[in-house]
Amino acid sequence: DCKNDDTYGLKLYATHKTTHIPDAYVIYPSLVNSGYYAMATTPLDTAFIAKSTLPRAGYGAFAARRIAKDTYFGPYGGLKHNDSLIAETTGYAWTIKNELGELIYFIDAFDPNNSNWLRFINSANAACQQNLVAVMQLKITFESLASNDNKQFYQ
């Protein structure tokens, strides 16, 4: 029972061995400065948020240490809604579809107070930069395609 996506060389098996790195737990969310909750969820032993190396990208997520292939992060945090106009304009929305390809909802991380650190993962400028792949199973997770060592994450 293998799902093979030759585009990215990713193979997912029912028994595929992976490592999950959860978000950092924010003990007192009310004490986090407005606009910084998403940053506060960054697992600091694994990643950090800094100015992106991409032009006009704002912030980016970077590996703080070597991260093995088949490590995954998530789920992607944000507000669920069904407004395609908002989803198209925010730049932080993922489309969640059912097995028929029909829209279920959007998960939108535009609001940094209602999202997590995964909102800072930027799209690669070229396929050779991509080191994460988004995996959708009624939620979005990101899986590492290769070992990352102090590199910016790109999906």
pLDDT at 99: 85
Confidence of residue 7 (pLDDT cuts 50, 70, 90): very low
**What Cα–Cα distance (Å) separates residue 53 from each residue in 76, 108, 133?**
22, 23, 19
Give the start-to-end residue ranges of the domains of the chain.
Answer: 19-77+115-149
What is the amino acid identity at position 9? G
* Architecture of the domain defined by 19-77+115-149: Beta Complex (2.170)
**Dist. CA 110–CA 86, nearest whole Å:** 10
Average pLDDT estimate for 38-43: 96
Predicted local confidence at residue 126, as pLDDT: 82
Instruction: Tell me what percent of the residues of the chain surpass a pLDDT of 90.
Output: 50
- Residue 12 clears pLDDT 60, i.e. is over it: no
Residue 149 pLDDT level (bands cut at 50, 70, 90): low
The reply to whether the predicted model has a pTM over 0.95 is no
| CA–CA separation, 37 and 27 (whole Å) | 11
Write the pLDDT tens digit of every residue in 53-88. 888 889 999 999 988 888 999 999 999 999 999 999
More confident residue, 140 or 67: 67
pLDDT at 17: 75
Residue found under tokens 């995954």: 72
Higher pLDDT, 2 or 99: 99
Q: How far apart are CA 64 and CA 72, in angstroms?
A: 15
Question: Alpha-carbon distance 41 to 74, whole Å?
Answer: 11
